[in-house]
Amino acid sequence: MGVSVPCVKDRLDIIHDRIAQAARSAGRDPGDVRLVAVSKTHPQAAVVAALAAGQMCFGENRVQEAAQKFPPLRARYPQMRLHLIGGLQTNKVREALGVADQIETLDRPALLEALATQIARLGCRPEVLVQVNTGDEPQKSGVPRAQADDFIRLCQDRLGAMIRGVMCIPPHHDDSASHFAWLAECAFRHSLPVVSMGMSGDFETAIAQGATQVRIGTAIFGVR
Ligand SMILES: *Cc1c(COP(=O)(O)O)cnc(C)c1O
């Protein structure tokens, strides 16, 4: 848990090098891949260490935890961005919009309605990604692959340009490259600029397939 500042900085440097390498190998501009540092379960001190090293974009999977760690840091780091990357319950939407800049896990009509209602009420303009369950795994959140196109259109009708892209977490055992390729193609079909895919174990594969956003926890902050 107690990750030192130099350690986080070194690890971030290594990840940035690996991202740049993967992008160049794919003929892509390294600047087109955004790093989301996933700080879930790690203490606020770990986030502060990453901020001190220049990392401004973070991911958390629980609203409650994010609401405790992040708002106090906003005054000192106004450029900081927080992404919610975990499944979202409709009764947490209001709190989620208060703390997060990007919601990566819109995956069902009821959540779309709750988001639209609270966005109108709060007058905010969050970035929103549609999560696709590319492996159609019963226990995993995300809209099923076969319903993704219709659901994305519904989301775009309701939230317009706030719908920025798509996100997926491929099945553990599968070859993730085919899931990543499918998601990138899906984003392209809907003219969506953000493709959020790839974690500590497979982000280079994701970049080769077109990821514009990678979500990396363990390789930066250590094991949870
Ligand atoms: C935890 C988590 C990550 C980061 O996973 P690591 O393997 O630690 O890099 C990425 N995406 C989501 C949705 C997560 O929940």
pLDDT tens digits, 106-143 = 999 999 999 999 999 999 999 999 999 999 999 999 99
Which atom of ligand 1 is the closest one to the Cα of 218?
Answer: 8
Judged against a pLDDT cut of 50, whether residue 1 lies above it is answered with no
Distance 162 CA to ligand 1 centre (A): 23
Q: What is the mean pLDDT of the chain?
A: 96
Tell me what percent of the residues of the chain surpass a pLDDT of 90: 96
Closest residue to atom 11 of ligand 1, CA basis = 215
Distance 63 CA to ligand 1 centre (A): 15
What's the confidence (pLDDT) of residue 173?
Answer: 86
**pTM for this predicted structure:** 0.97
pLDDT band at 154 (very low <50, low <70, confident <90, very high): very high
Closest residue to atom 14 of ligand 1, CA basis = 85
85, 132, 180, best to mutate for ligand 1 pocket (most atoms within 8 Å of CB): 85
Q: Which of 36, 103, 23, 14 shows the shortest CA–CA distance to 63?
A: 103
Q: Are 14 and 55 in contact (CB under 8 A)?
A: no
Q: What angle do CA 215, 174, 217 make, to 5 degrees?
A: 20
Residues 6-32: what's their mean pLDDT? Answer: 96
Distance 199 CA to ligand 1 centre (A): 6
What's the confidence (pLDDT) of residue 6?
Answer: 65
Judged against a pLDDT cut of 80, whether residue 3 lies above it is answered with no
Residues 203-215: what's their mean pLDDT? Answer: 98
Beta-bridge partner residues of 132: 143
What's the confidence (pLDDT) of residue 5?
Answer: 63
Residues 23-31: what's their mean pLDDT? Answer: 98
Distance 120 CA to ligand 1 centre (A): 30
Q: Pairing relation of β-strands 57-60 and 34-38?
A: parallel
pLDDT tens digits, 160-192 = 999 999 999 999 988 999 999 999 999 999 999
Rg (CA), the chain: 17
Count, residues in the chain: 224
Q: Which amino acid is at 155?
A: C
55, 167, 199, best to mutate for ligand 1 pocket (most atoms within 8 Å of CB): 199
Ligand 1 pocket, residues with Cβ under 6 angstroms: 38, 40, 61, 85-86, 169, 199-201, 215-219
Judged against a pLDDT cut of 90, whether residue 2 lies above it is answered with no
